[in-house]
Amino acid sequence: MTTVLYIHGCLSVCAPMQQSRLAGMYRMARRQGWCLHEIDLGIPDADLKRTLEFWQPVGCMVEGGLARVGHFLPSDFAPVPVVYLDTERALFPEGIDEIRHDSDATVHAATRELLSLDLPRYAFVGHYQSRDWSRRRAKVFAADIRAKRRECRGFEPIDGGLLGARLPEVLERLRLFVKSLPRPCGVLCANDEMGEFVLQAAQTFGIDVPSGLAVIGIDNDSLRCENTSPTLSSVEPDFERSGELAVQLLARRIANPSAPPRTVTYGPSRVVRRQSTHVLRTDDPCVMRGVERIRLGLSEGVRVTDIAKAMGLGLRTAQKRFLAAAGRSIDDEIRARRLSCACELLASSDLSVAEIADKCGYTDERALRYLFLRQLGTSPTDFRREARRR
């Protein structure tokens, strides 16, 4: 069987990106009749030449990030065709086949999410290594915010060189920046790692999130985002689609070696809302606990009694407190969250309607179809088709 390689380095990709990207690659490689192998060349003593000699691939897809694997140039693979993913521009010559993240579109999605909170001021926190992609995100975010005539501040560290070389100093400056922000303020972070640092700084100074600072990151690293305090909202780039596009671009290059090089972009997949941007016009901590219990318990078929228990109140009192704070009942909030979750999964995944019904806590597929017809006037299948068309 025809062999192709996906080559990355241990420092060149984050786990959620790699897993989603691989899923897209595997699915598209099967359609091509290829056998895809994942290769980590970030480990000590890894040798590209010996790897190519062993596998004899017809093509390679290579992460072009900061790890040593990112320094492999097209000439190192010759005559094997190669497609790069998310390159650092300074490391590569012009005229390569590459898949690039449309970072501007992802920033626009994050900006819309923060602007929906209707806050008077906003801020951007750049990555501690002060990379080009981080500075670009800062510029796009500032333009979006100022176009709405809102105040925008920025934190962009001085370039510290090697990975983590100046991290302690940067984090100390970041703590002071967070402390100095006028509140309420919406904060976009260059990625989820910086979002975690911002939440930690807010906690240090007793700044309430999200009523004082509403914070959102980029990448949707779920292990990180679900374990911050409070949990971190994030924009998820369409990493799975990037894997599909890489295979398609490689197939084009294999079929026509003399074809001109192409750059293909992928954008955001969805905004995952968590506690750090879930601004209710209330200071009631009981209600906030109830809202978070709904979010975490959707797939479990969470019930009103579960929410009352999380709020630490009796059922009738919990219903009254929730209605007064959120403007709708606990039942309505659960239904709205389930419907929103189902819509996002239909638009951004290939899960079946039955699988989506299960993930959103519906008793069966029929219940989900009935709700769509009643609330949206369409079926889940038609909704997906229209969402994909748009």
Q: What's the pLDDT tens digit per position in 47-56? A: 888 999 999 9
The arithmetic mean of pLDDT across residues 125-138, rounded, is 89
Residue 165: pLDDT over 60: no
Query: Are residues 154 and 137 in contact, defined by beta-carbon separation less than 8 angstroms?
Result: no
Q: Phi and psi (nearest 5°) for 163?
A: -55, 120
What local confidence, expressed as pLDDT, does residue 374 receive?
Answer: 76
What is the structure's pLDDT at 389?
A: 66
Please state the pTM of the whole predicted model: 0.73
> Hey, how many other C-beta atoms are within 10 angstroms of the C-beta on 87?
18
Domain annotation for the chain: domains and CATH numbers: 2-101+238-268 (3.40.50.2300), 103-236+272-277 (3.40.50.2300), 285-389 (1.10.10.60)
Predicted confidence band of residue 66 (pLDDT cuts 50, 70, 90):
very low
In this predicted structure, the answer to whether residue 327 has a pLDDT above a threshold of 80 is no
Tell me the pLDDT of the chain averaged across its residues: 86
Greater confidence (344 vs 358) lies with 358
Distance CA 98, CA 131 (A): 19
According to DSSP H, which parts of the chain are helical? 15-32, 48-55, 74-77, 103-115, 132-147, 167-180, 192-204, 222-225, 239-255, 285-297, 304-311, 315-326, 330-348, 353-359, 365-376, 380-389
Name the strand (E) or helix (H) holding 272. Answer: strand 268-272
Percentage of residues in the chain having pLDDT higher than 70: 89
Query: When comparing pLDDT for 207 and 387, which is higher?
Result: 207
Amino acid at 259: A
Is residue 388 over pLDDT 80? no
pLDDT bracket for residue 163 (50, 70, 90): very low
Report which of residues 326 and 333 the model is more confident about. Answer: 333
pLDDT digits (tens, 9 = 90+) for 8-64: 876 555 666 778 899 999 999 999 999 999 988 876 566 888 999 999 999 999 987
pLDDT greater at residue 243 or residue 292: 243
Asked if residue 280 has pLDDT above 70, the reply is no
pLDDT, position 162: 44
Encoding tokens for residue 74? Answer: 């097209």
- Higher-scoring residue by pLDDT: 314, 67: 314
What's the pLDDT score for residue 322?
Answer: 87
